[in-house]
């Protein structure tokens, strides 16, 4: 009886995975450019293949998996070492942690570098810095490039504009909202050019 139930569970999980991949392959067509740039060759596709639907999917459509982090092994997908500069321009070198977030139509990320975090959305994202910046410094950031504040593989394009800069006094953080138009992107199992190449 136990072995039969185990086989049923495995078959149900396989079918659920197939349904998820079919649904995501049809619907996910965008990605944050910061996510694409934050990943080294092969990282984003490798992480996408690891995504499995939870028991709450599709009622809760957003799924997550680690791209790289401190707990991951292997030189191919080891953390990126980043120099973190504080308000005084000085800071330690730390490892980043990158999480792929897959929604119903787009791929986004949560990136942590030290105590700073960056999360992307369909029209840009939010950068949260672990210190309070005075109003005059925040005003100088608005309208300027994000990479002036946050240097990382994710911001190498240098074309993301800071739209607002506010403070969360209760948490002791400065929060920057920035603009970033999404890129056309497909999951690795849903790329028409891959299918054509295999014909």
Which of 196, 182, 181, 142 is closest to 164 using CA atoms?
Answer: 142
Higher local confidence (pLDDT), 1 or 177: 177
Three-state DSSP state, 162: strand
8 Å CB contact between 70 and 146: no
Contact 146, 118 (CB under 8 A): no
Alpha-carbon distance of 172 to 115, in angstroms, equals: 12
Task: Quote the tokens at residue 119.
Answer: 């999360």
How far, in Å, CA of 7 to CA of 15, rounded? 12
Instruction: For residue 58, give both structure tokens.
Output: 């599709």
For residue 75, the model assigns a pLDDT of 36
pLDDT digits (tens, 9 = 90+) for 23-49: 999 999 999 999 999 998 999 999 999
pLDDT of residue 6 exceeding 90, the answer is no
pLDDT in tens, 91-142: 556 678 999 999 999 999 999 988 899 999 999 999 999 999 999 999 999 9
Q: Cα separation of 149 and 129, whole Å?
A: 10
Q: Which two tokens stand for residue 31?
A: 């990605």
Position 193 scores a pLDDT of 62
More confident residue, 114 or 194: 114
17 phi, psi to nearest 5 deg: -65, -40
Comparing 162 with 94, which gets the higher pLDDT? Answer: 162
């Amino acid at each position: 009886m136990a072995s039969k139930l185990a086989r049923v569970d495995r078959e149900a999980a396989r079918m659920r995975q197939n349904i998820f991949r079919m649904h995501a392959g049809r619907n996910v067509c965008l990605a944050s450019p910061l996510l694409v740039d934050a990943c080294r060759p092969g990282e984003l596709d490798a992480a996408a293949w690891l995504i499995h639907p939870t028991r709450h999917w599709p009622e809760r459509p957003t799924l997550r998996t680690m791209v790289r982090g401190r707990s991951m092994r292997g030189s191919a997908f080891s953390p990126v070492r980043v120099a973190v500069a504080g308000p005084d321009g000085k800071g330690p070198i730390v490892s980043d942690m990158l999480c792929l977030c897959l929604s119903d139509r787009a791929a986004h990320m949560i990136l942590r570098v030290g105590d700073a975090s960056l999360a992307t959305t369909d029209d840009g994202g939010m950068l949260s810095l672990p210190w309070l910046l005075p109003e005059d410094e925040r005003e100088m950031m608005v309208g300027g490039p994000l990479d002036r504040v946050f240097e990382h593989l994710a911001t190498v394009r240098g074309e993301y504009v800071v739209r607002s800069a506010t403070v969360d006094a209760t948490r002791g953080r400065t929060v920057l909202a920035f603009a970033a138009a999404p890129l056309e992107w497909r999951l690795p199992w849903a790329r028409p050019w891959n299918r054509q190449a295999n014909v």
